[in-house]
Chain A
Amino acid sequence: MSEPTKDDGLISVNIDGVDVRCRPGDNIVEVAASAGCEIPHYCYHPKLSISGNCRMCLVEMGLPGKDRATGKNLTNPDGSPLIQWFPGPAIGCGTKAAPGMHIRTKSEMVTKCREGVMEFLLLNHPLDCPICDQAGECRLQEFSTHYGRGYSRFLEEKNVKPKRTVLGPRVILDDERCILCSRCIRFSREIAKDDVLGFTDRGSYSTLTCYPGRQLENNYSLNTVDICPVGALTSTDFRFKMRVWFLKQTPSIDTETSVGCNTEVWSREGKIYRITPRRNDEVNDTWMPDSGRVLYKQVEAGNRLQQSLVRGQTAALDEALREATALLKNGPVAVVGSGRSSVEEQFLLAKLAAALGGAKAQLVSRVGEGDDLLVSKDKNPNVRGALVSGLIDALPEAKLDGLAASIDSGKVKTLLVVGEDLTLAGLSEAQLAKVAIVYIGTHLDATAAKAAVVVAGLTVFEKFGSFVNQQFRLQKFQKAVPGPAGATDDLVVLASLLANVSGSQAPSTLESVWTAMSAERPVLAGLSYARIQATGTLLDGAAWSGLPFVETKTLHFEPAAKPVLAVAGA
């Protein structure tokens, strides 16, 4: 990066003797972090309003002195600006960068402040870290090691507060661990727009609670667990299931809607334990809906396909592919793809559809209620991927009436279906009985039950791939756990079928698919899987801007009120 110049609108703030360039008004905690200097904090969260109550981020602050009479800058004998230090500490989170501001984060006063605050926080906090469910993710633990005095002078009895208070269907509060940072309250009010939490009682008897007759039950309630800096709020689903330091984190994408929230999948030994949001300021900030967190349960669902099937009987993959190829070659084929398949899978399916007679594949539209936050109306994560990959040209319809008519008139003999239950898309069981179905999917649904050939595929947690979200942002997901032994990556399945049908080699790995895609699809030119950025790569969706997409806006935090600068003298 080039050195910022004077007229770039940036100012200089001195942190512990080092000048740091930042925008005026930037938060000092963030400015310090950008300079590699940690200002510990609990109540401050970059996406929430400032409450300034934990007092952990106290720093020393000074400003260039001005002569009151003349208004001229005061200088030291060597000509440098004279810094007037405030007599007491200031909170970093509530301090905005101003030209020439000086901050000390390691001085004697700051050290004493932090030790004091840590000591206070731990007074009534149970020191039962070995059994606390937040161990491994507890900032109280971390900061007490980094900034605490190392021992407690507290000889009194601790306050006894309730344990296992149920705040809602998915969140449990251990009151005695709460440090009253109010992040959860502010999140509920400002982000989830469900003002349901508050404090009751005073002093060190203050406790977090729901308003009378209310519960923390909105679809974003588990975000409060993510942002709780200590072990007070826990997820009923994950609580006491696994120590976080045993878990592997895999970046993934929430597939429930076209928003494509960035997620982190936490697994161990092939088993997924939880899903949490991954920060992407362009997509989901640091949040995700509760509904997306339980999707990992589909991995071990009772109707999960463990093996390929030929006419209802378990079959080896080779046999299933042979049967499928025969059926596909047999007669006029209609292809129904999925808005839940990855871009790569959709690209291969498009190739396969072309090889089978040139007809475009169809997609099933899935439209429901959006919440104007992180759940959009389009319940498919990758409709735009299908446009980008060339699988479809027009938006999918909810009911496949055209297909039903083709089946009835005998124009279609074979159906190639990827992951869709056609009985939900307007086709009757009688219609399905008229055709031979090749089904590639993960779960046994009504269509799979009618299929002549079923090829067991992998869920989003078990493979690599990418989706294009509602902003035309190409985002990749990675394999967190291996799938069932009898299931196969759709890419391999589709490539095999394509090779069988066309009689030529087909790309079957991500890299080779991408080589083909970037060559064929102008919108993906120059891209490869490895070059998709961690926070996604925005594609040019102009070619499809005229299509009537169903989604509304995405969530982004905007402060309720514009900050007003302090008045003179105050």
Chain B
Amino acid sequence: MPVSETKLLMKYADEPGYTPGIESYLAVGGYEMLKKAVGMKPEDIRGEVKASGLRGRGGAGFPCGVKWDLVDRKSGKPIYLICNCDESEPGTFKDRQLVHKDPHQLIEGMMISAFANDVKFAVIYIREEMPKGAKILDAAIDEARARGFVGSNICGTGFSCELIVHRGAGAYICGEETGLIESLEGKRAYPRIKPPYFPAVLGLYNCPTIVNNVETLCNVVHILRMGAAEYCKIGRPNNTGTRLWCVSGHVQRPGYYEVAGITMGQLLYDLCGGPLPGRSFKAIVPGGGSMKILRYDEKFKGKKPDGAAYEYGVDDIPLDFDGVAAAGSMSGSAGMMVMDDSVDILEALANLMQFYAHESCGQCTPCREGSQWARKITARMCSSNAKPGDLDTLYDMAGNIGGRTVCPMGFSTTWPVQSYIDKFRDEIEAKARDNRCGMPREARLIQK
């Protein structure tokens, strides 16, 4: 039987007639959880969130409750809450949906989180390239403030928390939490060195700071509504709740899907309609452009509870943090990019390298120089100028980037390069050979 979506965050947003306005949100029970929250003890809310097992939806999947626990509450300094809406990973567009279609859900989630963490000032850091989202959020905050859900004396309880929208200037690095904080402080968005400065202790203006993704904060509303125990029933243990998967590329019905507890094959076939007519799947990038690519015909080794080994394919990968990780990649920001047999894998890699070379912030030597080098090599291989040994150089050089930089974004060059070469070396070498003696790049692309 075909699976269906498990709608939690997008339950109402996708309904016909539902608008980003506050009336729509109130009509479906909006802000009831905030009213409930301000009557609770903050530590009880934090306990619920921790018990829910909610893992951060920004990419790393760090448990939200644990992140909140790390906050230094004894420093006497104000605690800040930042909503990371700097969504810019290739293939990822889920936060945009939440902001555009149901901004009050985010605001409510933020206000509950603010109350739970004694936050008096919260910020939504939104990417420059989402001007519409910024306008929607501004309007929504005004509405919420007029109703007493944001600002001073929230819900008449004496709890006050200001919420503002801050528009970034458009840089990939601003999605990294310390780069975001630097940007918010008005500086060039260079990530901070960690350790010792973790945002939970020294974040915005050297005060304890929580940085959470849009989807993570939206989930807080539902955790409170359902209770941790009930929430945990969605998904698998350690992978609780739903996830908004963004599927782009060569499927019949690309888009975003809110699902829980299904496999990659169920998403690709049941929800996305399978490959385009006459085509077959070739490769999947599961969690956004920086994640390792999976060959569609790849086989993985698993272990059943009784210890027996078995083999499974891409279609059977459980679609959650641990499932994708077990297959050697990461679910990251859940931006799934699907490639069918029409894709020139070398072109795809060159395209990604162009992105990461452009977006490298330039702070650390390996990422700054390595990403540009990878771009140049892959672009050259795509033109008629590939040289023997290019791939070995590329592979080895990429290995010198990831894990050697201030922030984890060095991996954005390393992982694609190494996984594309690991999985498709023969094809890339053949393409490079063909390109060398073949027709100009533009002509080849048009012919496809």
Contact = CB atoms under 8 A, between A and B. Distances in A.
A202 B357 CA distance: 9
Given A120-B400, A570-B200, A153 B371 contact: no
A203 B359 contact: yes
Interface in B200-214: 200-202, 206
A567 B72 contact: yes
A427 to B, nearest CB: 56
A94 B193 contact: yes
B361 A203 contact: yes
B53 interface: no
Interface of A: 50-56, 58, 88-89, 91, 94, 96, 112-113, 115-117, 119-121, 123-124, 153-157, 159, 179-180, 198-199, 201-206, 561, 563-570
A115 B400 CA distance: 9
B200 A567 contact: yes
Interface in B371-408: 371-373, 376-377, 380, 387, 393, 397, 399-401, 403-406
A124 B362 contact: no
B366 A203 contact: no
Contact of A153 (B201, B393, B404): B393
Contacts of B370: 120
B171 interface: yes
B341 interface: no
Contacts of A89: 403-404
A569 B67 CA distance: 10
Contacts of B4: none
Contacts of B361: 202-203
A119 B396 CA distance: 12
Interface of B: 66, 70, 72, 171, 188, 190, 193-198, 200-202, 206, 357-366, 368-373, 376-377, 380, 387, 393, 397, 399-401, 403-406
Given A154-B373, A569-B66, A116 B400 contact: yes
A116 B397 contact: yes
A305 B357 CA distance: 62
B400 A117 contact: yes
10 contacts: A54-B364, A88-B404, A89-B404, A119-B400, A155-B380, A203-B361, A203-B362, A204-B368, A567-B72, A570-B195
A112 B369 CA distance: 16
Nearest to B379: A156
Nearest to A112: B400
Contact of B357 (A124, A203, A567): A203
A564 B196 contact: yes
* Most chain A CB neighbours (cut-off 10 Å) among B206, B361, B368: B368
A52 B201 CA distance: 20
A53 B195 CA distance: 14
Contacts of B376: 156-157
A94 to B, nearest CB: 5
A561 B206 contact: yes
Given A116-B397, A153-B397, A203 B360 contact: yes
B180 to A, nearest CB: 16
A117 B366 contact: yes
Contact of A50 (B72, B193, B387): B193
A203 B413 CA distance: 13
B404 A180 contact: no
The 9 A-B pairs of least Cβ separation, nearest first, read: A116-B400, A206-B362, A566-B195, A120-B369, A156-B376, A203-B360, A88-B403, A204-B372, A52-B193
Contacts of A569: 66, 70
Given A94-B193, A570-B200, A113 B404 contact: yes
B373 A202 contact: no
Contacts of B393: 153
Nearest to A153: B393
B196 A55 contact: no
Given A153-B393, A203-B359, A203-B360, 12 more contacts: A53-B363, A96-B196, A112-B400, A120-B369, A124-B372, A201-B362, A203-B357, A203-B358, A206-B362, A566-B196, A566-B198, A570-B70
